[in-house]
Chain A
Amino acid sequence: DAGVIQSPRHEVTEMGQEVTLRCKPISGHDYLFWYRQTMMRGLELLIYFNNNVPIDDSGMPEDRFSAKMPNASFSTLKIQPSEPRDSAVYFCASSADRGRGTDTQYFGPGTRLTVL
């Protein structure tokens, strides 16, 4: 298995532009998570899906952020409009369901976003 795939690996954009981050989870995994890592806040959970349905988006910082999972093999995290404070590394992770909640999460390589 190729593991969790994220694209792009690096994104540099200007303030006000729309940014779309993409994720392909591990085949067969039921959960998909979007995280953001910053120096100040460490690893923050933004939103997670179970069987393609958003379950908890309480970590999404504001309405400029949105996430979708149209099918079991693809998810997007969109920022519109982007701001310099959105600069961070964004990780996608997926996990199986062990019958009592999420199992070990496997992370993608991340997308480093820089908003100028």
Chain B
Amino acid sequence: GEDVEQSLFLSVREGDSSVINCTYTDSSSTYLYWYKQEPGAGLQLLTYIFSNMDMKQDQRLTVLLNKKDKHLSLRIADTQTGDSAIYFCAESGAGNNRKLIWGLGTSLAVNP
């Protein structure tokens, strides 16, 4: 069945770049998403990419998609302590029901 996998933890120093990786199995995925969840807060949509794109950049965020390897990454440049959160990768298929299939989330710790 459909599956999305992510590493569970990542620790970086403030000012460094963070790279969070995700792999998925559904080759028919249409959109791939990154959500951020801070402690006690809801899920915030960070960015998303259409499956026919290789890269999307939005300020400090860069998303890379390797469709052949079914690999998605999120790079956060100049990581700040405010970026500490859980980052979820999710994918959806085509069609009307774009239900999201989620990874377990990567907990990013930013050390001063």
A and B associate in one complex:
no
